[in-house]
Structure 1
């Protein structure tokens, strides 16, 4: 099978990714132009600048997915500096990877237990909108992860073949360990809080999410698992307790789970900043809940810095070996 950048497999992956973004980008374009397509009958939507800005930001985010898909298959993509490619790929992998875990659980529980009455803040949308949007996200998640995996296997084959003990012991290793332990120290109580919410706890939750709302509780359970998986993977790498183990499993786990923690934590904080008006009483997040969401963004930021240090130090060590040889 041809796995080169011009190969049929990569072209197919890119085409599927682009095709999956078309419905979402079309819908967002219509909303940005003032259309009410997809709105439920009788829905009353305030003429909010925050809503328009949110639609613009999410349109740009999905447009970046198109550019990323092209970069992963075209020769010019390998000339893009690693950092410029890795950051959007990491955020996209985490955001869409979390959805790939959550969507089967949400739809599976609906098949088993039935659909809950609509109490969501977005009940003003027609049901087909969710099918189009999340169906597209699922396809994008699968294709972008596959495309990035092929790109990484070609561009960073040496890193993926390394053992944990092959990573360089540089002057920043102590800092890496401090960052990993700090992130884990924050992640454990955050994961416990998410599990408490997932099991039905309502303390520090918005009123809207205290009346059942099964999907939100599933998301909380998945987020708890991702927090623990991400920090566990990074601790495994920086503590070097099993240097003979292959690096790839921890790297992939830290990549997807850490990206999810960072992406969704940061998105929640960004959404708060984007909505300056006072929300409805049912949507008000208690201070403790706000602290938990902000702390998740903080954990994600620590993992971002830690991952960048690991990759930069490894790249410098590889360059030194090549120059010496």
Structure 2
């Protein structure tokens, strides 16, 4: 979730990174290298990894490759910001949105692809990548292995960074977070977001268990186990994100630690927003190519997920910003009270 201001008190003064943080940063950057190398090669005109050389030169793919290259390069920069002292001076509103979106994109892959690949290899003789694919199979192995390692590395680096910059997040109890003047609005938004989140999750569960209604026809024809498991994971994360926000806004006594529902809302909202936005782009591209044959239902689900994830994120951001303001007010009042005769 994006946070426009410092939500909690800043921790200890910045100092050099320890061995653990340096190792996590190095491993994360190394995990980005294969993907960056493939993208640079393709943007340079190479057709390495392609079965269809003509498809590799599609202008739409060129733009997509440039965008995804920039996103992975940004992941390297974010990993360094989480490791070195200068990252502590970056405003929260600038450092949190990239890792929120990265969490939303990478966490479902890290959770679903290994399990889905295992299921596919056990229950089917068909390759995981499917038959007649324009890309060679090793490309998927390199890319998704890299994404899984990036997810582990970035999230580990972020937790280590957040524990130093916002230590109270990891110690405060949910019930002890004060209720500010916008709590009623937070509850309204949390309850309102839970409904479309549940609907979107139900649709993804339907696709996870083999349903294809509402999917673009080309995607429905090429479904495999990893994609179905990914839909199931997406549905679980959507429900977790909505439940996490409800616990935060309602100041639930369980779970006790504030960081637990915050993490659920963070990952769930990020997955809904990032993957739904990606699905919306795919659906619009399919509609442009296939016209009325492009299954608009998937577009409505993607639009609903994008908006719901954004609402959950912004509501959580309001909650954190309000709590941060209350903490600063209390801290500024203490010196005045101690100086009173």
Does the TM-score normalized on the shorter chain lie above 0.5?
yes
2: distance between equivalents of 1:36 and 1:135?
21
* Residue of structure 2 aligned with 1:94, choices 97, 100, 104: 104
Q: Which residue of 1 aligns with 2:332?
A: 323
Greater relative contact order, per chain length (Cα 8 Å cut-off, separation 6+): 2
1: distance between equivalents of 2:255 and 2:37?
50
Q: Secondary structure at the match of 2:288?
A: coil
- In the TM superposition, 1:67-82 aligns within 5 A as 67-82=77-92
Report how many aligned residue pairs link the two structures. 320
Q: What RMSD over aligned residues (CA atoms) do the two structures have, in Å?
A: 2.4
- In the TM superposition, 1:204-283 aligns within 5 A as 204-211=214-221, 212-242=223-253, 245-271=256-282, 275=285, 278-279=288-289
Length-normalised TM-score, structure 1: 0.91
Does 1:21 pair with 2:29? no
Does 1:195 pair with 2:208? no
Gaps of 5+ in 2: 1-13, 335-341
Q: Which residue of 2 aligns with 1:296?
A: 305
Q: Secondary structure at the match of 1:203?
A: coil
Does the 8 Å contact 1:116/1:213 carry over to 2? no
Does the 8 Å contact 2:193/2:308 carry over to 1? yes
2: distance between equivalents of 1:147 and 1:204?
38
1: distance between equivalents of 2:219 and 2:286?
21
Q: Which residue of 2 aligns with 1:12?
A: 23
Does the 8 Å contact 2:117/2:225 carry over to 1? no
Length-normalised TM-score, structure 2: 0.87
Instruction: Give the superposition deviation at 1:152.
Output: 0.8
Instruction: Give the superposition deviation at 1:203.
Output: 1.4
2: distance between equivalents of 1:137 and 1:299?
25
Flag the 1:165–1:201 CA change in 2: closer, same or farther, 3 A: same
Q: Which residue of 1 aligns with 2:196?
A: 186
Does the 8 Å contact 1:194/1:224 carry over to 2? yes
Instruction: Give the superposition deviation at 1:188.
Output: 1.1
Does the 8 Å contact 1:230/1:253 carry over to 2? yes
Does 1:146 pair with 2:152? no
Q: Which residue of 1 aligns with 2:171?
A: 161
